[in-house]
Structure 1
Amino acid sequence: MIKRFIIYLLLFPAVVSAQINTERVMAIGRNALYFEDYVLSIQYFNQVVSAKPYLYEPYFFRALAKINLDDYQGAEVDCSAAIDRNPFVVNAYQIRGLSRIKQNKYDGAIEDYTKALSYDPENVGVWHNLALCKISKNDYTGAEHDLSKLIALSPQYTKAYLMRAEVSLKQKDTIRAMKDYDLALTVDKYDADVWSSRASIKLQQGKYKDAEADYDQATYLNTKNSGNYINRALARFHQNKLQGAMEDYDVALDVDPNNFIGHYNRGLLRAQVGDNNRAIDDFNFVIKMEPDNLLAIFNRGILRSQTGDYRGAIKDYTAVIKQHPNFLAGYYNRAEAKRKIGDIKGADLDEFKVMKAQLDKRFGLDKGKKKTKSDKTRKKSDKDMENYGKIVVADDSEAEQKYKSEYRGKVQDKNVEIRLEPMFALTYYEKSSEIKRDLKYHKYIDDLSNSGAVPKRLLITNMEAPLSEKQAKAHFASIDERTSEIVKHPNDATKRFARSLDFYLVQDFTNSIEDLTQAINCNASFFPAYFNRSLIRWKQLEYEKSEEQNEATEAKSGSNKIDIRVPEYNIVKSDLDKVIQLAPDFVYAYYNRGNVLCALKDYRSAIADYDKAISLDPNFAEAYFNRGLTNIFSGNNKKGISDLSKAGELGIVSAYNVIKRFTEQKQ
């Protein structure tokens, strides 16, 4: 009955808001925020705001959740409310500044960042955003001043060199920009953005071979940036490396299947090498994206004619001529297609139009525009029909967009670092992945799902998905339903387990662990309860570590020394020990225990657990990845790189980045 009352409070906060335990609800909300369950976290923060509207924290953290959901106006309002209640919180100015940037309110953002720096003059993220705001306002002198301060404050921060190079480029000073790109590479040669930025300048300068070499590095370090492949294709095209260029377009379109430039240019190159049917497929895609793209329609017409589809070709040529009645290539090609289908009269009329125009030109009667200097490329916005056969390059505004989008300031962002693949959980929801990996399966878990003991199919995954608002409401309601069932069947372990999953999914870890403990008391051999309890305790430790890290950073001391609580990690490990004892074929317990042992720096034992996991499942990509990193942590780079290579082969693309870093370090 106590738990039923707790759920009543959660479901009807407006009625009894003053009676809720705001500290506990706030903690659950922050927990949900940390694990990127933004919609759910807002529901918890709403309860705290309703109960204690004078506190700044629920407004601030609700703003963080909203900004991650792209509700920039709502985030700004919440940050303002937080600042009204406590004007000394630097992060509130930082997040409000970011939300204002997203609404193009640069003056307001500059005010926020200036105020934040008055409280925290060494905040790298604030200096970064302040400089970008000034670049957006074309205040290059102010931006350069801020960036020089940022570089003096943090000389290892490569983004500052990139931004200062951007300022130089906007002032047409390519030499200074190149110096900053070179400086950035001396600081961090593993930053893909630096390589691609320097390559883009070399591309503009016509240094195609050098640009290709820089894009080689950029694509190696970041395999998910389609723009780098598109640009390397352009560098290769200018060197007549058509096969290499097409390969780059293939990869770019694997990464970004809707890339306009990739499809258009690949269509042109396929046409050049006689791959006409697949070239038509590319132009069909472009025309589906842009039905009025006459250059693509004309190119498709040429290809249709070459493949014998003369009526289709005539239809395309006619669409172009209707909009451009003086486009002679249209009449010439249509005449040829008409003659192929026996329309001699129509062909003669089109040829007469071409001949008349040529005579007018010869005798100076053609008042049309003069042809400009020939080039092999055209801007995407260039709609001149005479340029139908030219390779497309991005407009300048699109090329610059990369810098405008790289604002920083999401306080909950995790450090970008080399880290183990995450723990596996039993849950109902999984993120979709670009790379399809093997479905994780265990017969006992499958039988448990099929038994009806849980309302949805259980998944074994380490890519958990956050709840939607609808799903969150459903699980709050489910908790109440499960409570009624537990009252009737207090000794049923599976009913306790089912409710623990609901609590877990709404980020109420305390009640979830309590249910799992009760499930174990009901049935000591029910290993899924031990498995999920170990996972939740692990997550609690990870969250606590993150909070300590933030506090240490704010205090400017001890930020690199995080206290690992050995006894608490051993409690996590003991639950996994029990799972392995009860279900020695449950491969995910060995994998998770390996992660725990890595946290305890017991690398030898961790490797033994990953060995066992791989022996049970030879295609366990995550186990190869983590064993590879653990071998490297132990000083065995050769074995580590071999495992990482296997992990990459099995679908963990980031393994290749790690391989490059540690291969070069070894050399």
Structure 2
Amino acid sequence: MWNHSMQLKRRSATPLLVLLPVLALGACQTASLGEVASIQAAQGSSENIASLTSVIDRNPRDAEAYNVRGSAYGRAGEYRQALKDFDQAIAINPQFYQAYANRALIHRYLGDQASAIADYNRSLQINNSYDVAYIGRGDVYRLAGQSRQALQDYERAIQMNTTDPRAYNGRGLLYQTSGQHNFAIEDFATTISLAPDQPNGYNGRGLSYLALGDDENAFADFNVAIKLNGEVAESWANQALVYEKRGDTARASKSFARAAQLDPNYKPAVDGLARTRRTG
């Protein structure tokens, strides 16, 4: 399944989110932390899928085997195959709340947000203590601009002492969007504690540091994000923002160019590159 297993104590009281208009940051986080990526890379391999297929061939009524293979297909980016396996797992066991949540994530990747919400709702009807479903539904709500519903879901998971960093990352993004950067920094710090090998928390915290005028800490966080994974466009674009703010147009343009190379559709990188090339 697509979750994490580390623990961290958290304060019991959480501040109320006040949705205030703020200036948009130069780059924004939209990626969710730890979803398909939380499956070990080997689980999406053709060898592992073949092994799981052998299990299913021996026992075609094994709902768990379909669920695991569906997760492997999801990790490999074979979303249609994943969907078929989760459908089968649920047909065999209609109370399989984990399979509903996994299928919801595939619906989301395929752009079917209504089906994703319906599957998360069904998962929670079966098990209203399943933090993964609250977090996943919260991500759908957040990306749809339904911030209050998203906050409620993240808060519910956090109150259940979830160890899934996506809850803190998601809530941090909401705080960041509303200009509550100190709260955002605290949530991103928790994200980092739970997933120190992932760049998301560093990028999020860096952007809030940057919004507060703390360029040094922002720059340090963006550099760590790049060191952890140099293939993430957002990290390079964020680094470029610091260079640009410092007046180092040449380095800013180079970092924006790297971000645009990694993701030609990443607008902050494309816009930043055009901007720095004009002024360079």
Question: 1:53-72, aligned counterparts within 5 Å?
Answer: 53-72=60-79
TM alignment of 1:255-654, pairs within 5 A = 258-259=261-262, 380=270, 389-390=278-279
The residue that corresponds to 1:174 in the other structure is: 179
Q: Which residue of 2 aligns with 1:113?
A: 120
The yes-or-no answer on 1:138 pairing with 2:138 is: no
Letter in 1 for 2:261: N
CA distance in 1, matches of 2:224, 2:52: 45
Q: C-alpha displacement at 1:91, in angstroms? A: 2.5
| Separation in 1, partners of 2:212, 2:189 | 20
Whether the aligned pair in 1 keeps the contact of 2:100 and 2:123 (CA below 8 Å) is: yes
Q: Contact 1:168/1:174 (CA < 8 Å) preserved in 2?
A: yes
- 1:227 corresponding residue in structure 2: 234
Q: Which has the higher contact order (CA 8 A, sep 6+)?
A: 2
- 1:146, CA displacement in angstroms? 0.7
Relative to structure 1, the CA distance from residue 151 to residue 204 in structure 2 (aligned partners, 3 Å threshold; closer, same or farther) is same
Whether the 8 Å contact between 1:181 and 1:194 is mirrored in structure 2 is: no
Q: In the TM superposition, what are the counterparts of 1:69-88 in structure 2 within 5 Å?
A: 69-88=76-95
Q: For 2:272 and 2:260, locate their aligned partners in 1 and report how far apart those are by CA, in whole Å.
A: 23
| CA spacing shift, 1:379–1:187, aligned 2, 3 Å | closer
**In structure 1, what is the Cα distance between the partners aligned to 2:151 and 2:231?**
31
Following the alignment from structure 1 to structure 2, what is the Cα–Cα distance between the partners of residues 146 and 209?
33
Letter in 1 for 2:270: K
Deviation at 1:129, TM superposition (A): 0.8
Q: Deviations over 1:280-312 (max 9, x none)?
A: xxxxxxxxxxxxxxxxxxxxxxxxxxxxxxxxx
1:126-205 equivalences in 2 (<5 Å)? 126-154=133-161, 157-170=164-177, 173-175=178-180, 177-185=181-189, 188=192, 190=196, 192-203=199-210
1:258 match: secondary structure:
helix
- C-alpha distance in 1, partners of 2:218/2:270? 21
Superposed, 1:241-256 pairs within 5 Å as 241=248, 245=252, 249=255, 253=258
Q: Specify the alignment match of 1:37 in structure 2.
A: 45
- Kept in 2: contact 1:42–1:62 (CA 8 A): no
Q: Aligned partners of 1:260 and 1:79: how far apart in 2? A: 30
Q: Is the CA contact (8 Å cut-off) linking 1:100 and 1:106 kept in structure 2?
A: yes
| TM-score, normalising length: structure 1 | 0.30
SS at match of 1:127: helix
- In structure 2, the partner of 1:296 is none
| Gapped regions of structure 1 (runs ≥ 5) | 1-32, 262-377, 392-667
Letter in 2 for 1:380: V
Distance 2:44 2:171 in 1: 33
Which secondary structure state, in structure 2, belongs to the residue aligned with residue 236 of structure 1? helix
Checking the alignment, whether the CA contact within 8 Å between 1:147 and 1:160 is kept in structure 2 is yes
- Does the CA contact (< 8 Å) of 2:188 and 2:204 recur in 1? no
Structure 2: gaps (5+ residues): 1-40
> May I ask how many residue pairs the two structures share in their alignment?
235
CA distance in 2, matches of 1:116, 1:226: 33
| 1:135 Cα deviation from its structure 2 partner | 1.5
Cα distance, 1:163 vs. partner? 0.8
Aligned-residue RMSD, C-alpha: 4.1
Rate the CA distance shift 1:34–1:119 in 2: closer, same or farther, 3 A: farther
Work out whether residues 185 and 209 of structure 2, in 8 Å CA contact, stay in contact via their aligned partners in 1: no
Asked if the contact 1:57/1:82 (under 8 Å) is kept, the reply is yes
Please give the alpha-carbon distance, in whole angstroms, between the structure 2 residues aligned to 1:79 and 1:157: 22
Kindly provide the amino acid, as one letter, of the partner of residue 37 in structure 1. Answer: S
Structure 1 residues 214 and 158, CA gap change in structure 2 (3 angstroms): same
Q: Highest CA radius of gyration, 1 or 2?
A: 1
8 Å contact from structure 1 (residues 42, 65) kept in 2: no
Distance 2:187 2:46 in 1: 39
TM-score by length of 2: 0.64
Corresponding residue for 1:476?
none
Distance change (3 Å), C-alpha of 1:379 and 1:77: closer
Write the letter of the residue equivalent to 1:41.
I
Cα distance, 1:146–1:89 mapped onto 2, change above 3 Å = same
